[in-house]
Every structure is written in C-alpha cells, then in structure tokens.
Amino acid sequence: MDKFVGYLRKISIRRRLLYAFIILCVIPISIMIIISGAIEFLYYNDNIKRNYDNFTYESDIRVNDMFDQLELKFKYLKENNDILTDIYLYAISPIYQTEEVSNRIENTIASIVSNQEEISYAAIILEDGTSFSYMKILVDAKEISKGLEDGPSWSYVDYGQQPALCRTEMVEVDYTSGLKARYVILINLNAVKEVLDNAAGSAKQKIAITDIQDRVVAGSRFEKPELFYEVTVPILDTGLNINNTFIRTKYDLRGLITVTVIFLLVVAGTGSTSYLVHESIKIPLNRLLGRMERIEEGDIFIEPEEEADINSQDENEILNRVFTSMLNKLNEVLEETYTTNINETQLRTRIKELELVALQQRINPHFLYNLLDNIFWIAQMNNYEEIGEMVSALGEFFKTSVSEKGAFVSINTEIENVKSYVCLQKIMHKNQFDVIWKIDPGIVHYKTVKLILQPIIENCISHGFEGIEGGGIIHITGKKEADTIIFEIQDNGRGMEKDVCDGITLAMNDSILGVGDSIGMRNVNQRIKIYFGEPYGINIKSKITEGTTVSLCIPVKE
C-alpha cells in the first residue's frame, strides 16, 4: 500500500484524477453493461416469468384484499347484535312486526354494506320468506334463494340480465329456539372487473376469477395461441381462483441503447467534472508553491493583496490562509521574543495554561450534552409509562369486545376484559377506588354472553362514586348455585332512594326503551333474557350512603 501511494505521489494530480476516473467509472460501468446485456439475452424468458410472477403477486394481493373486505362486511352483517335482536323479536313477537322495525333492520344492513362498491344487493331472509334487504339494483329475493346451500359458500348466479357472485350462509339467530335466517350478498361483476383491470400491472396481463369448473366468472384472460404464461391461485375459503395470464414480450434493443446513451452521458459528465476539480485544485496549489518559493528565498512577509480569499471553503485556500496567518504569527513571536526576552520556563508555563484551558473547554460541553441527554430520556420515560399501561389495557379490552367471534365468550375472558377496563378507569380516576375480586375458579370455563359486567362496573364508577374523592371499593364475586351462576357487584358509593332504584328496575325490564333510561343496564338485562330466558337477568338493591348491590344471574352453559 505504501509503495502504491508512493508511486501515485510521483505523478501529477491531473494524471491521478484520470486514472481514478477510468478505474472507478469507465471500467465498472462498461463491465456492468456487458454483463447485464449478456444475462438479459441468455435468461430472457426466465426474466420475463420472474417479472410476471411479481405482477401476479401484486395483483393477487389486491384481489384477495377485495374478497377479504367482502368477507369482513359479511361477518359484520352476521354478527351485528342489533340486527340479531330485532330479527329475533320480529320473528317471535307480533308486536315487533312493524314497518318501523323492518326499516330499522334494513337501515342497519345499508349502513354496513353501502360503502362497499362491489356489493349491489344484501338481504336477510327468514324461513317464512320474510326478507329485509338493501339493493342498488332490483332483485327477486325468492329467485336468488332457490338452490343456495345452507353452509357458507360462494357461487355464481344468473338471475336474468345481470349475473353476479353470491355469498350466502344460513345463520342461527337464536340457539334456544332454533331460529335461523339466510344471509345473502350479491357482488356486481362489473365492479369486480374494474378492480381486476386496476390490479393488472401490465398491458400484457389479464386477470380473471374462475370457478371450480374453470369458467370465467369475472374479468378476462388470454387464450392460445397468444398465451405465453399462466398462474392460477386459489382464493381462500371461496372455491374460486385468481387466473393470471400473460402474453410474450418481444425482445428489443431499446433498453440496451438507452443504457449505452446513459453511459456516454455519465462518462462525459464525470470527465468534465474531473477536469474542473483538477483545475480548482491546481490554481490554489500553484499560489501556495509560489509563496513557499519566496519564503525559501528569505521573504516571510506577505503583502495584503496576496492573502488568500477569506470567504473560500476550498481546503487549499484554507491552507493558504492558515499558512499566511502562521507566517504572520511567527513574525510576531520572533519580534516578541527579541523585545521582551521571555525565558523558556515562562513559555512552558503559558503553554500548560493554554492546554488546561483547552481541556476545560472540551470537558464542559461534553458534560453539558450528557446532562441534557439524560434529562430528555428521564422525561420520556416518565411520560410514556402511564400511556403504555393505558394502551396495553385498552388493547386487551378491545381484544374481547371487538375481536371475539359470536355473542358468547368464556367467563374467564369476560373477567379479563373487565380487569382491563378497570385498569383504564383507575388510571383515569387517579386510583380513587379499588376493586376486590372473589371469583370461584370452578366457573371460569363456562360460557356467558359477552360484555355483561362492564356496563355495571361503569355505573358503579360514574354514578356510585360521583362526588366522592377516594376510598371507593367495588366487590365483585362470582359463584355457582345449583344450575345457576350468580355475579354480585357491590360498591360503597352514595346509593339510591328506593323509588329511584324501583324506577331503574322498571325501565330495565320494560320492553319499550324510554329516553334517558338506563340503556347499558337494560341492554345487558334484555340480552340475558333473550339468550337464556325470563328467569335470568339483573336485580338491584341500594340504600342511601350504604352503596348499591347488583346481582346478575345466568344459567350454567358449557
């Protein structure tokens, strides 16, 4: 390495830059063009297929995303508690068989599916033929429902002038009565074709959705003899496939020509830049060499007009400026030495003092930076700790309340959900209350309707402890008596008058909800009675200044 550097130092800067330009620019780019051209020519078909595989991957993601969105809409439709409750009451109670209830069901259906452009029709059809629907086009519900399977399925239907994809499933509305309803959505094939066209990554690609008989349901595909490459991928849980077909791309030299032109432009630009850099280095170096020659002749004083440009950031100009300053200071030192006769000891002492000052100037900023950095991270840690707890608890709460499928969860899941909710409330209320749990471990594996404890806990905190600062306690117990599971939530809050308690109980059990009634408690009570029957539900006892006790009874359910 030293020999190589020594060799370079023997030649001029111009020649060094020329060699560097050839080695670092011309040769690598030339080799890259030759190798890439050869690889592209030799592996032309493989490269095309790899590119087409990339197009297929991207288009499959977009098409599967569309079907995922459609399945998610269908899931929301099936699991909407408001629809299930209204359909159940509509089916079993003549009182609920009104136009208002029917409109409410259809409005809820519309609110779920109307923003999905591909869905042109959605309906819920009862076993007696009654249907609740949302439609962008006119559809005969009875005609559509003929021949559809009871289980979850996708199928291709042709009900006249406009064929469509159909997603249908027979859903159990109430497991105790065996009430079922058929859920149906129709997918507009024109909207699906638009999605497929947008998902195509090239004009040489066509995308189609095919059924198990390899019939084209939506979109289009290339057929022989123009077909060059084909990839078929199943759409999960639908019985349908995504069929990607491609035609051959003709090989041309435009890519190679373009790369060559770019190469020539790069060489020209790099060469011009190297020349300009060389000139910018040479000029100040020549000035510096000239001045050194003058010093060698004994002239160490620099005339003002010969000083370097103070605004220049060029290293050679800076070297000229420093060199000039060094000469001037050297002259001053010599003059001072001769005029003041500073001895060697004094000079060394001064140097030590300057070294100490310089060391102190290095230490102080270093200490200050470390101190500021520590203060910043301590502040970050203090701010994020409570936020982290709230985010974690909120995530656990929504994990059950939103992610759990169906209306039923295990009692253990319900308890964990309430604990997450209590954690959030304790943080929000600055730990002004405590919760004491006493749950029989033998009941945690049984099933319950989800979200039945949280509204009651919320009432304890919002109403029971209103106006009370600290000292609040909530006792939550759960036990099994015969074939019944009893939860008891007791607080030491301000309590209620008997007439207020009786009014809440009356509103909670009334089939018609009034404005301002206890919506959360009534919702829990009505859901328990709908799923488990009239003997089960909520009972409230309360006394002023002694607190409130809410008892909740449900049957044992495996």
CATH of the domain at 454: 3.30.565.10
In the 3-class helix/strand/coil scheme, how is 250-306 assigned residue by residue?
CCCCHHHHHHHHHHHHHHHHHHHHHHHHHHHHHHHHHHHHHHHHHHHCCCCCCCHHH
- What is the predicted pLDDT for the residue at 8? 65
Q: Averaged over 271-284, what is the pLDDT?
A: 69
DSSP string, 200-264: -SSTTEEEEEE-TT--EEEE----TTTEEEEEEEEETTTTEEEEEEEEPPPP-SHHHHHHHHHHH
Angle, nearest 10°, between helix axes 99-113 and 81-92? 150
In this structure, is residue 257 part of a structural domain? no
- Top-confidence range, 14-28, 266-280, 455-469: 455-469
- Residue in this structure with the two tokens 């160490």, named with its chain if needed: 300
User: Is the pLDDT confidence value at 17 over 80?
Assistant: no
Structural domain contains residue 334: no
Domain boundary among 223, 251, 279: 251
Can you state the angle between helices 254-296 and 13-21, rounded to 10 degrees?
160
Residue 501 lies in a domain: yes
Quick one: DSSP state of residue 151?
S
Q: What's the confidence (pLDDT) of residue 363?
A: 35
pLDDT the model gives residue 52:
85
What's the average model confidence in pLDDT over 485-502?
91
User: Residue 479 and residue 443: Cα distance in Å, rounded?
Assistant: 7
Under the banding of pLDDT at 50, 70 and 90, the label for residue 252 is: low
C-alpha 232: how far from its chain's center? Answer: 29
Domain boundary among 236, 251, 266: 251
| Beta bridge partners of residue 368, listed in sequence order | none
Mean pLDDT of 25-39: 77
- The number of angstroms, rounded, from the C-alpha of 44 to the middle of its chain's C-alpha atoms is 38
Beta-carbon contacts of 264 under 8 Å, excluding residues fewer than 6 positions away, are none
394-413 mean pLDDT: 68
Any idea what the CATH number is for the domain that residue 147 is in? 3.30.450.220
Statement: residue 149 has pLDDT above 50: yes
Check residues 365 and 533 and name the one with the higher pLDDT.
Answer: 533
Give 351-365 pLDDT, tens digit per residue: 444 443 333 333 334
Instruction: Kindly tell me if the per-residue pLDDT of 369 is higher than 80.
Output: no
List, edge to edge, every strand of the sheet that includes 119-126: 131-135, 119-126, 179-188, 164-174, 153-157
- For residue 132, give its domain range: 43-251
Residue where one domain finishes, among candidates 251, 275, 306: 251
Q: What is the C-alpha separation between 184 and 141, in angstroms, rounded?
A: 9
The per-residue pLDDT for 428 is 80
Q: Is residue 21 part of a domain?
A: no
Q: Quick check: 301 pLDDT over 50?
A: yes
* Average pLDDT of every residue of the chain: 77
pLDDT at 442: 93
Sign of the dihedral through C-alpha 390, 396, 397, 399: positive
Among 79-93, 256-270, 389-403, 519-533, the range scoring the smallest mean pLDDT is 389-403
For residues 488 and 469, the answer to whether their CB atoms sit within 8 Å is no
The pLDDT tens digits of the residues spanning 193-213 come to: 888 988 888 888 899 998 888
Question: What's the rounded Cα separation, in Å, for the pair 241 and 238?
Answer: 8
Per DSSP, the three-state class of 440 is coil
- pLDDT given at position 539: 92
| 106/389: higher pLDDT | 106
When divided into structural domains, the chain yields a total of 2
Pairing of strands 547-555, 537-543: antiparallel
Residue 11 in any domain: the answer is no
* C-beta neighbour count of 386 within 10 angstroms: 10
Residue 386: predicted pLDDT: 59
One-letter amino acid of 460: C
Asked if residue 291 belongs to a domain, the reply is no
Which pLDDT value is given to residue 372?
37
DSSP at 404: S
The Cα 178–Cα 407 span in angstroms is 15
Dihedral pair phi/psi, residue 369, rounded to 5°: -65, -45
Nearest to 507 by CA among 495, 496, 524, 519: 519
271 within domain boundaries: no
Query: 149 — alpha (psi -120 to 50), left (phi > 0) or beta?
Result: beta
- Kindly state the helix (H) or strand (E) to which residue 21 belongs, with its residue range: helix 13-21
- Residue 163 reports pLDDT greater than 80: no
For residue 304, being part of any structural domain is answered with: no
